[in-house]
C-alpha cells in the first residue's frame, strides 16, 4: 500500500515538493481518520436517537424547538 502524498509549497521560492508521507506522518494520518470516523458515527447515532425520540413524542423538530425556546 502506498502512503498518501504530502505537498510542500515554499512561497518564497515558489518551489513545490511532492513526497510520500513518512511513517510518523502516516501513523498520525491514520489516527486522525479513525477519530473522524468515530466522531461521524457518534453524530449519526445522536441524530438517529433524536429522530426516534421525536417520532415517539409525535412532534416535529420545529415543535421541539418551540418547546425548548
Residue 26 belongs to some domain of the structure: yes
Contacts 24+ apart (CB under 8 A), 22-29: 29/4
Q: Which residue has the cell 441524530?
A: 47
Instruction: Tell me which residue range forms the domain holding 57.
Output: 22-68
State how many domains the chain has. 1
Residue 13 belongs to some domain of the structure: no
Average pLDDT over residues 6-10: 96
State how far Cα 10 lies from the chain centre. Answer: 28
pTM over 0.85: no
Q: How far lies 61's CA from each of 41, 53, 66, 68, in Å? A: 21, 10, 9, 11
pLDDT, tens digit, 9 for 90 and up, residues 9-57:
999 999 999 999 999 999 999 999 999 999 999 999 999 999 999 999 9
Residue 37 belongs to some domain of the structure: yes
8 A C-beta contact, residue 8 and residue 19: yes
Residue 64 belongs to some domain of the structure: yes
Amino acid at each position: 500500500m502506498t502512503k498518501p502524498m504530502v505537498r510542500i509549497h515554499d512561497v518564497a521560492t515558489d518551489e513545490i515538493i511532492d513526497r510520500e508521507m513518512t511513517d510518523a506522518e502516516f501513523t498520525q494520518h491514520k489516527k486522525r481518520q479513525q477519530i473522524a470516523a468515530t466522531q461521524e458515527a457518534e453524530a449519526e447515532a445522536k441524530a438517529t436517537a433524536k429522530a426516534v425520540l421525536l417520532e415517539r413524542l409525535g412532534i416535529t423538530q420545529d415543535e421541539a424547538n418551540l418547546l425548548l425556546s
